[in-house]
Structure 1
């Protein structure tokens, strides 16, 4: 039985729960999770990690100031990474390696969660990313329903607003910030768009959305997940693998993964498996993935794209053509796993579903990362991050109790969904190593949202406090003791803290056993901070290093 030895309670609980639920029978390894890991800062809790590692900054962009997530997101992701490490080490042991322990940290998980934003902020490109706070979804209808809206193509966007009679100039101005909210974590939409939706009932909105190919969903105010859904579902595939024992320096050395993925969730699966030592072959359409050219550039490729796809071997082929499908089957025949996040039904339409590829590669691990599995909809909405946050209750859980529910515009379920899928692939590879049996692994943005521990009630959150040079969070002391040290009344603490810089208070309040953590408000400064040097690498942009240590 793996012993999860840790200070962060949420991370330990998530790791233990996932390891109990997954197949593969992990080895009895020691698993250590701490708060800071290689980051040379005192980080005593979740809010300090969120402050120091950029999460508060990214989550708060839409509001124009740093904001705390109302869930232990970094701790949850650290628990999934810990489970991944245990599974990878167990697989390596089953293949002849001598590993006995794995270690990760909440800070490294936090850095992984902001890696795309970090890449954009630190690229050598002269292009400057801009965003504006305010004006963001959710929208509100005339009958008071708060809802999220999703459309992936400009044609649908134009038709939807035209049917509602919205101002055409506002429609044109709103498309770019709406489309870019996944990249910037902000979406300052023109007020006329919000006004157009406030003038009609939600039933009309839903009818127009269905007619124009747009997805809308109400934002749930209940923070609890709507259903008990496992993070990953596993199903045996026909055939038995034939493989020789392979061993190497990295846990997944010699493992070959083929991926056909896009956006964030799918590419992150291969990215994590590559960091664990697998060879990842990325299948892209002829001419390459269109995301490669999206600015800002890092060298000759998009910084956002590189954040998730560096180090993969690229093969261009058209899976819609018979010859392209044959080439893909040839790649999979020599692989251990195949990963995709295609739209529902596309794999079957292409004759590239799990049973199809299992005939090509007996013992294959086949992983599908979707939006909504295992939910079934008569007319399924688009499976994207913010709709999933809205429907899963995560949008309620991340916001404080005294504010309306709203998804974070930081891509929470995209990142966690990719991490959960990679965890499922590792469990399936371990099961395959022990039995030779192929496995299909299904996971989704929705199933990953359920991994996040939540209170049955929305929390009242302590948000960062202003200091004279920015923002800070305080850990480890109560208001009465803090007020005594400051020589003021408890309700005057915020005004007192405004009078001095964060660094001053970090030294001054140690007498009250308070840990003062300045809030990162510039990812470039984070990347240049020598205290983060052991956790970050640098090419033409900064990037998180592999978040595990094996011994």
Structure 2
């Protein structure tokens, strides 16, 4: 079977971006990973997605969407555009390849870095107790705040026990890093005492965000994954010299957390020089444990290889320094809050005046939605509102966002595809572009399945992924080990895939070695091959 979902995602994204590439990217299931991976379920099982997604439940779980295939489709679109760009600049590129397995490894890259760091940090998490919360009138809702003060104000307005509030903040704040959030039952019980209207009022007063979790796996309709608007020009880039397709392209990035840095990470892997703008003293995320070679492992997973310039953007001198950087660049990327660029005089038209032909990319939370008072544009709120939360959970279970950062990773990949399309367009027209994408627009790239996938099944010592449509009795499989059943089922012509239960074991598996690289932690190699 071919990765049909990945092919459809790639074709749809390229149509939406409006640039027909002359280089085609082939997609297969395994790529350099030497494992028999016949379908999406096998990839999620073998490459760590089921393990990370299942942490909050305490057992591996398959995402109810074809997430790895969708990521592979975006990677294929990127490769086609990057190959076309390189070819138009003088590179002898005729084809490209990627795989669903490589996409899956990229999707769990931050968790892989944390699990394999040389730090003596011991990663731990507890299942259960996770958001969303449920109100007295049976509304399930997600809460978001990025600061402890907002967390305290919200729960204090509801009359929460101070010990519960204090105990809940760390697992809540760390759920992006651990994919689990074991919150005190007292907070859940308190939420159940109030109607949703009272919860929403408390959130407004506390300066936090709450949104109901949609119960149906609806999909954003009529929202382009990424839009391009022409900017003043003309502009051009230097000719390709050697190496990867984006050799000679310079990107300036001012971004935090996951979504924005992922854009620069992809472009750097494709050969661009990426200059990362950080505040004086460096990005605070650098110091968040566990550490890898003196820097946060999670931070390094997305930011290794970038050159750093420390600039205080709230000052006039800092803004001038940024303009000077951009004047020598091809691309500027940010994921600032709505309105910040305009207030600082650093919007697309402002920067295009310093660098005609500039590709200016904003990777936001909710565009093009127009909220009277926009909630924070973060992964789990977007999953709740976009219908992903209803699509990812097993049949019969209530809607809940995956605590694996699905839209953060996908949003960064979609924005990078938009940047590549804009660079291809600039080679053709000489004009720059503004690129707009968001977590919400990226959510529309994820296809919703017509029927739920088969669940992973337990063995005596682990779990197995079986081919879809398999009629094996799950109770039978509990009687023997995973290794026994893999051999036994193979003899019967059934391909079963053991479920990864430890990312360290995945990183040490010689069959996966060709897709990974090791420094003071393990990380995925660039997920494309160009020829």
Matches of 2:526 and 2:491 in 1, distance apart? 36
Q: Contact 2:260 / 2:335 at 8 angstroms: preserved in 1? A: yes
Matches of 2:80 and 2:221 in 1, distance apart? 28
1:101: how far off?
Answer: 0.6
Match among 488, 499, 522 for residue 542 of structure 1: 522
Matches of 2:246 and 2:463 in 1, distance apart? 42
Task: Decide whether aligned partners of structure 1 residues 171 and 476 sit closer, same or farther in structure 2, where only a CA change above 3 A counts.
Answer: closer
Q: Contact 2:454 / 2:469 at 8 angstroms: preserved in 1? A: no
Matches of 1:246 and 1:516 in 2, distance apart? 45
Match among 6, 10, 17 for residue 22 of structure 1: 17
1:460: how far off?
Answer: 3.5
SS of aligned partner of 1:216: strand
1:400: how far off?
Answer: 2.2
1:244: how far off?
Answer: 4.2
Matches of 1:243 and 1:446 in 2, distance apart? 31
Q: Contact 2:251 / 2:329 at 8 angstroms: preserved in 1? A: yes
SS of aligned partner of 2:72: helix
Gaps of 5+ in 2: none
Matches of 2:304 and 2:397 in 1, distance apart? 39
CA offsets 1:91-133 (integer angstroms, 9 cap, x no match): 0111111111110000000000000000000000001121100
CA offsets 1:205-261 (integer angstroms, 9 cap, x no match): 001111110100000012121432110011111121044433322100000000000
CA offsets 1:437-469 (integer angstroms, 9 cap, x no match): 0100000000000000113x6x44422111122
Gaps of 5+ in 1: 1-5, 483-492
Q: Contact 2:359 / 2:435 at 8 angstroms: preserved in 1? A: yes
1:471 aligns with 2:463: yes
Question: Residue 282 of structure 1 aligns with which residue?
Answer: 276
Q: Contact 1:24 / 1:434 at 8 angstroms: preserved in 2? A: no
How is 1:515-534 mapped onto 2 (pairs within 5 angstroms)?
515-534=495-514
CA-atom RMSD in angstroms: 1.1
Q: TM-score when scaled to structure 2? A: 0.99
1:148 aligns with 2:165: no
Match among 365, 387, 390 for residue 393 of structure 1: 387
Question: Residue 215 of structure 2 aligns with which residue?
Answer: 221
SS of aligned partner of 2:232: strand
Question: Residue 98 of structure 2 aligns with which residue?
Answer: 104
Question: Residue 489 of structure 1 aligns with which residue?
Answer: none
Matches of 2:211 and 2:470 in 1, distance apart? 40
1:324: how far off?
Answer: 0.8
Match among 370, 375, 380 for residue 374 of structure 2: 380
1:462 aligns with 2:454: yes
SS of aligned partner of 1:405: coil
Q: Contact 1:23 / 1:431 at 8 angstroms: preserved in 2? A: no
Matches of 1:353 and 1:226 in 2, distance apart? 27
Question: Residue 212 of structure 1 aligns with which residue?
Answer: 206
Match among 38, 41, 46 for residue 35 of structure 2: 41
SS of aligned partner of 1:283: strand
Question: Residue 5 of structure 2 aligns with which residue?
Answer: 10
Question: Residue 488 of structure 1 aligns with which residue?
Answer: none
1:507 aligns with 2:501: no
1:476: how far off?
Answer: 6.2
Question: Residue 251 of structure 2 aligns with which residue?
Answer: 257
Matches of 1:535 and 1:63 in 2, distance apart? 29
Comparing 538-547 with 242-251, which one deviates more in the overlay?
242-251
Comparing 235-244 with 65-74, which one deviates more in the overlay?
235-244
SS of aligned partner of 1:192: helix
Comparing 425-434 with 14-23, which one deviates more in the overlay?
14-23
Q: Contact 1:115 / 1:543 at 8 angstroms: preserved in 2? A: yes
Q: Contact 2:237 / 2:330 at 8 angstroms: preserved in 1? A: no
SS of aligned partner of 2:276: strand
Question: Residue 51 of structure 1 aligns with which residue?
Answer: 45
Matches of 1:217 and 1:513 in 2, distance apart? 47
Question: Residue 115 of structure 1 aligns with which residue?
Answer: 109
How is 1:70-469 mapped onto 2 (pairs within 5 angstroms)?
70-455=64-449, 459-469=451-461
Matches of 1:477 and 1:194 in 2, distance apart? 38
Task: Decide whether aligned partners of structure 1 residues 243 and 57 sit closer, same or farther in structure 2, where only a CA change above 3 A counts.
Answer: closer
1:499: how far off?
Answer: 1.7
Q: Contact 2:29 / 2:100 at 8 angstroms: preserved in 1? A: yes
1:477: how far off?
Answer: 6.0
Question: Residue 494 of structure 1 aligns with which residue?
Answer: 474
Q: Contact 2:454 / 2:468 at 8 angstroms: preserved in 1? A: no
1:180: how far off?
Answer: 0.3
Q: Contact 1:477 / 1:514 at 8 angstroms: preserved in 2? A: no
Q: TM-score when scaled to structure 1? A: 0.95
Comparing 38-47 with 92-101, which one deviates more in the overlay?
92-101
CA offsets 1:263-292 (integer angstroms, 9 cap, x no match): 000000000000000000000000000000
Task: Decide whether aligned partners of structure 1 residues 195 and 472 sit closer, same or farther in structure 2, where only a CA change above 3 A counts.
Answer: same
SS of aligned partner of 1:240: coil
